[in-house]
Chains A and B, each alone.
Chain A
Amino acid sequence: MNKIWLLMMLASLIVLLYVDPGATLSTMIDASTSALTLCIELCAVYAVWLGLLEIVDATGLGQKLAKLLRPLIKKLFRVDNEEIEKMIALNMSANILGLGNAATPMGIKAMKSLDDGSGVATFSMIMLVVVNATSIQLLPSTVIGLRANAGSENPADIILPTILATVVTVSIGIILVLIFDKIKRHIARRKK
């Protein structure tokens, strides 16, 4: 991330020096302002979801959901801890329901519990990020809303191809993580 960010910043700053040096600072501050606005909105959304999540947790519904999804989670994420299984189960359920903003706080909690403090991402952490970063949501509600606004005759006709493409993306993501993990282990064994 450090290298990517530096590259993005340097490339655009140098180009801006030629094209429009006066716009540099105002662009940065505008972007930071929109980040703050976004965070305020997110804070409101998270307050609702974290409040509800706490109730889900207190009633024991979280455990029940985790128990239901345990075989899958255990296999896919290679975790063996009830608390983490519960967070991942809630994260996945929210994602599938298309509630990306509800999934984020639970995913962050799961990541925090998965952290072993070594500074290196474990297999489970990588899998969780990749599954979340390849979008397992089934109903692209924002896209459908935008299409309806733009005067589409059938805004929802992209649902079927979207679901199919999503399944492809997530499956490839999972397969790639498994392949990379195998390669990594192979290299580690060779070094020994």
Chain B
Amino acid sequence: MSIYILPILFIGLFLYGFFKKINTYDTFVKGAKGAIKLVVDIFPFIACIMIAVALLRASGVTEFLAKCLAPVFNFLGIPPELCELILLRPFTGSGSYALLNDVFVTYGADSYIGRCASVILGCSETIFYVATIYLSQTKVKRLGYAIPCALIASMIGAIVACLLCKII
């Protein structure tokens, strides 16, 4: 069912544009032109985050942190096997999906841990990545309380996710 949603929306959009007498080709080109500039602007921000995350993983710092935090996670009802995933989630999208796959391979996609990991990833976002990219075209240097708010909310979300996986 859901595979039909986008094509139908697109057909509707082009038909609507035709009836509104809009040059869809010219308009599309005009919009698409903005993509290169946007990507050039956000590349350095993405590179900085990815370099830091790669170093953290290569040095084993995340693994060490995950081990230290395991008792805390255990106390909160989160399987300690998911520490590294939760630690890296705010920084990297592709990296956390790779870790999710590792969890599936090690514990199985339908295991409790596998399901928890799925829900945790589904209900959270790459907080630092979103924050830096959204700020990339503004003069703002500090985001005030935005990051703490998002981090606390995601942490509570992760706890709720593990609870829900037990029930549902």
List the interface of chain A (C-beta within 8 A of B). Answer: 1, 4-5, 8-9, 11-13, 15-16, 19-20, 23-24, 27-28, 30-32, 34-36, 38-40, 42-44, 46-48, 50-61, 97, 104-105, 107-108, 111-112, 114-115, 117-121, 125-126, 128-130, 132-135, 137, 139-140, 142-143, 146-147, 149-155, 157-158, 160-162, 164-166, 168-170, 172-173, 176-177, 180-181, 184
C-alpha gap A155/B104 in the complex (Å): 12
Contact B122 A143, beta carbon cutoff 8 Å: yes
Contact A111 B50, beta carbon cutoff 8 Å: no
Contact A51 B29, beta carbon cutoff 8 Å: yes
C-alpha gap A147/B160 in the complex (Å): 21
C-alpha gap A134/B134 in the complex (Å): 14
C-alpha gap A190/B108 in the complex (Å): 55
Which residues on A sit within 8 Å (CB–CB) of B36? 43, 47
With beta carbons under 8 angstroms apart, the residue of B55, B132, B142 that contacts A8 is: B55
Contact B137 A31, beta carbon cutoff 8 Å: no
Cβ < 8 Å to A, chain B residues 1-20 = 2, 5, 10, 13-14, 16-17, 20
Q: Quick one: closest A residue to B36, CB to CB?
A: A43
With beta carbons under 8 angstroms apart, the residue of A46, A147, A168 that contacts B104 is: A147
* Additional A-B contact list (9), CB under 8 Å, known A12-B56, A32-B47, A35-B49: A31-B50, A31-B51, A31-B55, A46-B38, A57-B31, A132-B125, A134-B154, A177-B145, A180-B144
Contact A133 B42, beta carbon cutoff 8 Å: no
- Chain B positions 132 through 148: 1 when the CB is less than 8 Å from some CB of chain A, otherwise 0: 11111111111111111
How many A-B pairs fall under 8 Å by CB?
Answer: 312
Contact B132 A54, beta carbon cutoff 8 Å: no
Contact B140 A158, beta carbon cutoff 8 Å: no
Which residues on B sit within 8 Å (CB–CB) of A126? 143-146, 149
Contact A161 B165, beta carbon cutoff 8 Å: yes
Contact B133 A13, beta carbon cutoff 8 Å: no
C-alpha gap A1/B127 in the complex (Å): 12
Contact A150 B104, beta carbon cutoff 8 Å: yes
Which residues on B sit within 8 Å (CB–CB) of A12? 52, 55-56, 58-59, 61
Contact B24 A169, beta carbon cutoff 8 Å: no
Contact A50 B134, beta carbon cutoff 8 Å: no
Contact A133 B52, beta carbon cutoff 8 Å: no
Contact A168 B35, beta carbon cutoff 8 Å: no
With beta carbons under 8 angstroms apart, the residue of B32, B135, B152 that contacts A51 is: B32
Q: Quick one: closest B residue to A26, CB to CB?
A: B58
Contact B123 A169, beta carbon cutoff 8 Å: yes
Within 8 Å of chain A (Cβ to Cβ): is B46?
A: yes
Contact A155 B39, beta carbon cutoff 8 Å: no
C-alpha gap A43/B69 in the complex (Å): 38
Known A-B contacts A19-B59, A121-B144, A135-B123; A165 and B164 likewise in contact (beta carbons under 8 Å): yes
With beta carbons under 8 angstroms apart, the residue of B54, B150, B160, B165 that contacts A168 is: B160
